Chain A
Amino acid sequence: MIYERICADELTLSDFELSARLKMPVGTLPENFEECKSALFAAAAPAFTAERARVRFLSDARAELCGRVLESRALAKALAGCDEALFLSATLGFGAERLLRRYAASSPSLHFVTDAIADALVEALCDAAEARVLSAEEHTARFSPGYADLPLSFVKDILEKTNAEKLLGVGLTDSYLAIPTKTVTAVIGIKTVPKGNEK
């Protein structure tokens, strides 16, 4: 089990991610960007937990992960060639959640921009987690419950596997939404060939 907190200032926001979330061209930023960013960075407590597990392929549309057999063609395809997977839960924490609630009630423009930065920040957190945990290994892209045919209910298994309730305080609603809402759960396939040795 890996658990780590990373200061928001150490994370690098992707221009492309920001552009997509802000719905603005790459390189342009709204006037209130710095105000929103500094409030968010002060409130957020980015942290992640990760745990490795074996992957068993039962067919091209079924794989066993966390002791659960998943009927997902997309996941089976995404993890093809992997014996192991990394389960990742990453969150910005409750301070960020409360800041977003506050802006939602007081200013839609601050809310929109801060929410967009928070989305980019949690993605940056996942990138950093991947880099720290899997730097020496070849791995697939992150695959999250709800993508394609991977059921959203698999969020619960990832949170349990990574002990996210206890370590990160992440809870789940009846409709499988993780709280704090700026939380990402994902599976990353780990290839057996070490980085550098691949063809």
Chain B
Amino acid sequence: MKNILEILGKKRLYFDGATGTELEKLGLLSGETPEQMNLRAPEAVEALHRAYFEAGADVIKTNTFGANSLKHENYAEMIEAALGCASRARAGREDKFIAFDIGPTGKMLEPLGDLSFEGAVEIFAKSIRAAEGKGADLILIETMSDTYETKAAVIAAKENSSLPIFVTNVYDAGGKMLTGASPEVSAALLEGLGVSAFGMNCSLGPDKMAEILPRLADASSVPIIVNPNAGLPEVRDGVLSFTFSEEEFCAYMKEMAPYCAVMGGCCGTTPEYIRALRAATEGIPLLEKEEKGHTRVTSFAKIAEIGGSTVIIGERLNPTGKKKLKEALVGGNISYILEEAIKQQDAGAHVLDVNVGLPEIDEVEKMREVISAVQSVSDLPLQIDTADPSALAAAMRIYNGKPLVNSVNGSRESMDAVFPLVKKYGGTVIALTLDESGIPADADGRLKIAHRIIKEAGKYGISRKDIIVDPLALAISAQADSATVTLDTVRALAKEGIHTSLGVSNISFGLPRREIINSAFFAAALTAGLNAAIINPMSEAMMNVYFANEALTARDPSCEAYVAYAASLPEEDTHKGAPKSEKKSTAEDDPTNLFGAIVKGLRSSAGELAESLLKTEEPLAVINGYIIPALDEVGGRFERSEIYLPALLASAEAAREAFEAVKKRIPEEKSEAGALVLATVEGDMHDIGKNIVKVILESHGFRVYDLGRNVPAEKILDKVKETGARLVGLSALMTTTVPAMEKTIKLLREKAPFVKVTVGGAVMNPDYAKMIGADFYSADAMGALEVCKSFFGK
């Protein structure tokens, strides 16, 4: 038997066509799934495989698309039978191959859905283990519309089999996967994961795939598979058929043939299509694939390409020197972390650094939690920043995309720990120019380490394009020539075509007014050829340098980005310092005072005005003199139907921002009105009502430990025990999840009898609340506020 990898890319291989629609013709029963036929009518399945081989297919797909433990209890039996059918059909055809076929689970993965990443890996792993050693020559993961599920399947294949892995994803006519990935994003991910071939199948006909193909071909040098439908499905005289005849199908396939190492068909393509396809394209030479030099990191939807425009890596999700982030990480305040992520994205970051390293937390667990949470709200690629190899492994495994890995260095220990992970999960690595002997004092020493790291990476098959060298910015306050050495190293690396990144802010450590030094150094590094920079994207001084540099180096040729940026800056005459605050004026809607800003719902102004007021007034005076009266005013207007919920929420957000400013000045217990744990119960993904309650309560000074949605009872109990909160708020929107609410209350009664429970949500009413054992009920957010005020005696 030949190894398919010996042929792949040298000579075009042909897949078979449709399985499901063909099995319908061969007697699939109503309500029966195709894979059940492996057991009921194996001879029909075998006949289909044989027909495809005879039509010219080199590779047939086993009839196992839906044979997984989630859909069928007897999946293993089905898989064994399917491979039996395929092997019998292949008997005597030594040059033909069997692809063990894997389709999607049918469940959405977390954080959007409720199937955990590891749960998905295990479902695929079970199927792969059932197929192992039973005659397959490769694993085909196909019809995937979510890159995250694709990644779970690829990892399961890598961990449970040594067979080559082929992958085909589904794109829509606009060239996107359903969860947002472009061809370039999925190419970067799959190339990083080291699959043998990848491409597209299903959903589109060859006409539309021909439009997407050049993007896939340009994105990577991995062999490409194209398995289109026979056009679009249509019902003619009550019979399902497809729009393209064999000839029309082949006309498009001929166009694509030079770029495709593997071709075949999907829905609607019969053995006749495959016969015609082979005849039409066999004589068309296959273009030799060239190495593409793209240095790309991705999320599930976005790419950051290193080597063109400067890539801004947001530094704010790193607890070093950030008290609030430290507290958020230790206290499990994910909301704060997510807000920081979103603020950086809005400020123009292209990648977000994520570092959760604190001695008092379990870094592995926290890294998993934060990566997953940040990816639920931001589509930017992430830089996984940790010195702990097990935290790095955990994060790279569950990361949805191809990450930037921070970092490896020239020490043997570091390279031995990091490169196997990059080989397994894919990624682009930041390489620090230090080793066992420390940081070389000159550029030559740092260059030597960079070269050594690149060489060592090559031994793992990690290309030079996936190494970005960080020549290290060290504090000039400690070493006067440190900036010069770093800039010399950047220049030398750029000359060799090696990409570079720097943690820019380190240069000013120990000095006052650090932005002055940072921005000047950033400008110099960009001139030296720096490709990526870890900076604070909320810093106007740093972003000024970035946008100016883009315009000056013709990367922003019509200065469009610069003009848009300039327009987003505050007016020149007012942007020095925060807006001036006045004493509470009689003009209640005057947004230039804090009272008015809250009433008008101006979030950023409210924060700035509170900061400004706190320079002259006591914190409690700001709360009692401005924030509370403004909220009373807004509450009154809401009661009188002069304003509605959206305006009430905007005011609550503004008041919360002002409260945040006050909290920085006084011990929390003095500003806090009371603390409660809030959650949407397990099984329920609706959180809009819970979020409204949260902001209303926070705007009135309550501390809310928000556990999010789909929260198990045990997690709520743990938070109560950890925080000592005396009140828990539970929300449920679906009737199917009310039992989870009841279960939570029972658990709290048993294990934390001191705590009281208030409930709300669309399916709740006072009687129902009483029935499931709740202490309080409120119909809406203002009702919840009254419950809290009364409970905490405010």
Contact = CB atoms under 8 A, between A and B. Distances in A.
B688 A175 contact: no
Nearest to A108: B695
Contacts of B146: 169
Interface stretch (A76-84, A130-138, A176-184, A188-196): A176-184
Given A23-B644, A32-B646, A152-B735, A112 B378 contact: no
Nearest to A100: B688
B12 interface: no
Interface string B276-316: 00000000000000000000000001000000000000000
Given A23-B645, A113-B646, A175-B737, A105 B342 contact: yes
Contacts of A146: 735
Interface stretch (B102-110, B317-325, B358-366, B620-628): B102-110
Interface in A113-163: 113, 115, 146, 152
A172 interface: yes
Given A101-B377, A108-B692, A166 B646 contact: no
B644 A94 contact: no
Given A169-B179, A174-B683, A102 B342 contact: yes
- A1, A32, A106 pick with most chain B CB within 10 angstroms: A106
A181 B685 contact: yes
B143 A101 contact: no
B257 to A, nearest CB: 27
B379 A168 contact: no
A172 B107 contact: yes
Contact of A105 (B180, B335, B647): B335
B202 A171 contact: no
Contacts of A104: 377, 687-688, 691
Given A24-B644, A111-B688, A1 B180 contact: no
B601 A109 contact: yes
A27 interface: no
A186 interface: no
A112 B692 CA distance: 8
Given A173-B114, A180-B112, A105 B339 contact: yes
Nearest to A30: B646
A198 interface: no
Contacts of A107: 603, 653
A171 B107 contact: yes
Contacts of B107: 171-173
Contacts of B115: 171
Interface string B692-717: 10110000000000000000000000
Interface string B586-601: 0000000000000001
A107 B335 CA distance: 11
Contacts of B692: 108, 112
Nearest to B149: A171
Contact of B653 (A28, A98, A102, A109): A109
Given A106-B339, A108-B653, A112-B688, A173 B377 contact: no
A65 to B, nearest CB: 13
Interface in B671-692: 683-688, 691-692
A108 B114 contact: no
Interface string B163-189: 000000010110010111000000000
A46 interface: no
A96 to B, nearest CB: 11
B650 A31 contact: yes
Contacts of A101: 111-112, 376-377
A168 to B, nearest CB: 7
Nearest to B177: A169
Given A94-B178, A102-B377, A67 B30 contact: yes
Contacts of A30: 644, 646-647, 650
A22 B644 contact: yes
B227 interface: no
B338 interface: yes
A168 B104 CA distance: 13
Contacts of B173: 5
Given A166-B202, A176-B736, A22 B646 contact: yes
A175 B115 CA distance: 12
B793 interface: no
Given A5-B172, A108-B649, A176-B736, A166 B143 contact: yes
A165 B106 contact: yes
Nearest to A43: B180
B646 A173 contact: no
25 contacts: A22-B645, A24-B645, A30-B646, A32-B650, A93-B178, A94-B178, A102-B342, A104-B688, A105-B335, A105-B339, A108-B695, A109-B646, A111-B691, A112-B649, A115-B688, A146-B735, A152-B734, A167-B203, A169-B145, A171-B106, A174-B683, A175-B683, A175-B734, A177-B684, A180-B112
Interface of A: 1, 3, 5, 22-25, 28, 30-32, 45, 67, 93-95, 97-98, 101-102, 104-109, 111-113, 115, 146, 152, 165-169, 171-177, 179-181
Interface of B: 30-31, 104, 106-108, 111-115, 143, 145-146, 170, 172-173, 176, 178-180, 202-203, 233, 235, 240, 301, 335, 338-339, 342-343, 376-379, 601, 603, 644-647, 649-650, 652-653, 683-688, 691-692, 694-695, 734-737
Given A1-B233, A152-B736, 8 more contacts: A22-B646, A104-B691, A107-B603, A108-B652, A109-B601, A112-B688, A112-B692, A168-B178
Instruction: Kindly list the 9 A-B residue pairs having the minimum CB-CB distance in the complex, ordered from nearest.
Output: A169-B178, A171-B108, A30-B646, A109-B649, A175-B683, A105-B338, A108-B695, A173-B114, A179-B108
